[in-house]
Structure 1
Amino acid sequence: MTDQNQWQNQAWGTGQPQGAPAVPGASPAASPLQGQQAQPQPQAQPTYAAPQPAYVAPVAPAPAPKRRGWIVGLAAVLAFFILGAASIASCTAVMTSSMGAFSYESPSWADTVTGDTVGIINIDGTIQYDGTTSSPEGLKAQLDAAEQNPHIKAVVLRVNSGGGVATAGEEMSRYVRDFSKPVVVSCASLDASAAYMISSQADYIYTAETSAVGSIGVIMSVTDLSGLYEKLGISVDNITSADAKDAGGGNRPLTEEERAWYQAQVDQINDVFIKTVADGRAMTEDAVRALANGLTYTGIDAVGNGLADEIGTLEQAVAKACELAGIPDADTVYLQSSTSDLSRLLDIMGEQNEDTTTRALKELEDRVGLE
């Protein structure tokens, strides 16, 4: 509600001239014509008292009693906004992937490579389906092009990612495993979870001493907003074909049976993760399971426990790739698809929607006093 700081029905006064009262006992002035018939004398002009204010100062209205009915309306608008932001973000991912399909079919670097070359592929940010080299479709496009290009002798994956979608990580790890030319990983600051699942399939892994490596494990987040809805006076009726169809929808807590169901899925996916790492790193599954505590290790510890091979830089990773390819040295080229302007715009829109939603939720929390 906007503040209403305007006075309505203001009373405006008008200054009225007021004549001076007669002074008791005052005699009229003597006439200079003595003995003549007295002539009427003009009365003195009236004097005015100090003028009155031209208006009466309005009295501020009493503050209206606070009402909390706006909370329900705000919550409804906020819920609509969140759903809209989620829809836009979803459309962003789909459209970005679609637009990317037109660009990574013909890599921009293919016509510039001559002589022995090591291709460098950046895997940066969230592992997901967005058409970039941090996605299955984007990585596969670059690996396929490198496979077919006779000048590309090996590939270095420059990884700086904390993970992402488990299925995307699984697909990407298969593409790396099936690539016929040498693959060397250079860990940047972070190589964790699904990103490490991909890295584990390389022929050699370099890491910095301070890199965070590992985080072998699976997480599934289920949000329960029923307490918030109750506080805001919002009710949700789900019409479902089965009792568990709305499980994880956020409108109610999970039942014990549903929680056990999801836990079994998490455990199964974790087994796939452990087996993939064990195969890629030539370790036993028991050895990997002992390290699969969900936490990251420093680069120093990762080399010590077998999750990485050596402390080194990107340049050392390129030199190792040349060694594995059997060439003395090589040029380097970054293998990446060109991103359309529309794709970049959609990414920016998605980020802005997320930021706006976060601010709106924070404001709602401050106003309502959520605990």
Structure 2
Amino acid sequence: MSDNPSMIPGTPEPNGSAAPLVPSSPQGQASQSGQPQAAGYTNVQQAQPQASQPTQSQAQGQPQQAASSSFGSTQGYSNQGAPQPPYVQQPYAGGYAAPQYAYAPAQAAQPKKGGKGGWIALGIILFAIVFVFTIGALSCSHTVSSLTSGADAFSSMSDEVITSGDSVGVIDMMGTIQYDGSSCSPEGLRDLLKEAEENPDIKAVVLRVDSGGGTATAGEEMAAYVRDFSKPIVVSSASMNCSAAYEISSQADYIYVNETTAIGAIGTIMQVQDISGLLDMLGIKTENIASADSKDSSYGTRPLTDEERQYYQDLVDEINETFIQNVADGRGMSVEEVRELATGLQFAGKTSVENGIADEIGTYDDALGKAAELGGISGENYEVVNLTSTSSDLGYLMDLLGADSGSALDDIDLSQLSAEDLVNLLKEEGVLS
């Protein structure tokens, strides 16, 4: 500490040195300004230039060095001489003109020209569009290749159905026909039909269909299960009953449609992508090491040869013949009659009844009544049993996570659980650690 009693160490000054201090007026006496001052020391006041009177350099917008500012009792120190925190200090009001560029509008950034970034982004967008159209092609199709998901990922198998008398079982077949363990898959439909077969109270089954089709092999398998079922099956068509879904439906004993139902679309499609042009544009080189020249023909990294294109056409035609034959056998029509209808196009409900694709315009209730009639149930005293389970949201979540939810969890309403309760429950089931 300095020995000079007129200095307080640490008092800042603009030039970095300590500001000189002089004894203040005795306590209780007024200063020249008429304001009382505390006894002790105070800073020497230095003159400030008038901020309201700009200098010539200020008027021209040039920066000017501010005059040495004072650090009085209101600038860094309280009336008692104690330092004030920075957030209560008054803003600087000295004479200083900001340079003109401080108020100039920001210049917009100019995009860089050239580079492959734009082409790569465009390529990704084009690839996404191709992928979306590929998926869209499966929405009403009888396809050679399949998009598969994990077995039993969305399993909708019900627990044991309890009946108390004559009953009509209902199986919902809504979605893409594929191998996923649901009622839209061969293994799922097989198990549900087996359950109905073994229950003596279930006299008939209604197959509630709303599907645009799916894979050829899954459709063929499911058609066989419907054909081999010993009890009557009646199809109730919702908005769509097309392609592979119709191949399955054609094996039923009776088909109902609505007037606005899209049904039929008898045909088979196989899609081979050729993205070689896109890969070239992106500068991506691919090299396939194959055991035979045509092994990479469906990889999309090169165009098909004429021979390969003809080969795939023959393959599609062969698979489609199985489709046509199944429809002919199921509907009691000749192969020639079905082939004339196998344009790949859909029919509206009324037209489908006229050309033999369906039997009658009718609702879901009409289908239930017809099933009861074909099953030998007299009157309307019969139970309607949904063989396809309707899992709770929690059970669906457990299926997505690959966990065995069990019947107990299927009864829990997910909307009634807090986030903490849900996490604890998933930990108890071993889904989360």
Same fold judged by TM-score > 0.5?
yes
2:186 to 136, 153, 157: 136
| Cα distance change on mapping 1:265 and 1:322 into 2, 3 Å | same
**Counterpart contact for 2:177–2:214, Cα < 8 Å:** yes
The residue aligned with 1:361 is none
Mapping 1:87-98, distance limit 5 Å:
93-95=148-150, 97-98=151-152
Shift of 1:54: 5.1
- Structure 1: runs of 5+ lacking an equivalent: 1-12, 19-49, 87-91, 348-371
- Does structure 1 residue 15 correspond to structure 2 residue 64? yes
- For the residues of structure 2 that align with 1:333 and 1:67, how far apart are their CA atoms? 66
- CA deviations 1:194-217 (Å, max 9, x no partner) are 010000000111111121111110
Once residues 224 and 388 of structure 2 are traced to their aligned partners in structure 1, the CA distance between those partners, rounded to angstroms, is 19
Q: Deviations over 1:43-99 (max 9, x none)?
A: xxxxxxx843257447848735323322466579889999xxx9xxxxx9543x245
2:400 paired residue among 310, 325, 345: 345
Q: Which amino acid aligns with 2:65?
A: Q
Residue 249 of structure 2 aligns with an amino acid whose one-letter code is: S
Match for residue 336 of structure 1? 388
Higher percent of residues as helix: 1
- Partner residue in 2 for 1:188: 238
* Aligned counterparts, 1:9-88, within 5 A: 14-16=63-65, 51-53=96-98, 56-57=101-102, 60=107, 63=110, 65-71=112-118, 74=121
Separation in 2, partners of 1:332, 1:241: 56
> One-letter code of the match for 2:252?
A
Instruction: Please name the residue that 2:409 is paired with.
Output: none
Structure 1 residue 151: Cα displacement:
1.1
Question: Which secondary structure state, in structure 2, belongs to the residue aligned with residue 155 of structure 1?
Answer: strand
CA contact under 8 A between 1:193 and 1:214: conserved in structure 2?
yes
For residue 214 of structure 2, give the secondary structure of its aligned residue in structure 1. Answer: coil
Work out the CA distance in 1 between the residues paired with 2:109 and 2:209: 64
One-letter amino acid of the structure 2 residue matched with residue 52 of structure 1: A
Cα gap change, 1:81 to 1:286, in 2 (>3 Å): closer
Match of 1:367 in 2: none
Question: Which has the greater radius of gyration?
Answer: 2
Q: Is contact 2:167-2:202 (8 Å) kept? A: yes
Task: Indicate yes or no: 2:256 matched with 1:211.
Answer: no
Count of aligned residue pairs for this structure pair: 293
**Aligned-partner Cα distance in 1 for 2:300–2:252:** 39
Q: State the structure with bigger RCO (CA 8 A, min sep 6), 1 or 2.
A: 1
Mapped to 2, the partners of 1:77 and 1:255 lie a distance apart of 27
SS of residue in 2 equivalent to 1:196: helix
Match of 1:27 in 2: none
Mapped pair 1:226 → 2:292? no
Residues 123 and 278, structure 2, Cα contact 8 Å, conserved in 1: no
Show the counterpart of 1:301: 351
Aligned residues of 2:169 and 2:196 also touching (Cα < 8 A) = yes
Partner of 1:358: none
% identical aligned pairs: 51
Displacement after TM superposition at 1:331 (Å): 1.2
Q: 1:61 to 1:308 in 2, by over 3 A?
A: closer
Output the amino acid matched with 1:130: D
Gaps of 5+ in 2: 1-61, 68-94, 135-146, 403-433
The TM-score, its normalising length taken from structure 1, stands at: 0.71
Q: 1:316 to 1:66 in 2, by over 3 A?
A: same
User: Relative to 1, partners in 2 of residues 1:73 and 1:335: Cα closer, same or farther, differing over 3 Å?
Assistant: same
1:154 aligned residue? 204
1:322-365 superposed Cα distances (whole Å, 9 cap, x missing partner): 11111113211111145543465369xxxxxxxxxxxxxxxxxx
TM-score (structure 2 length as normaliser): 0.62
How far did 1:163 drift? 0.5
3-state secondary structure, aligned to 1:333: strand
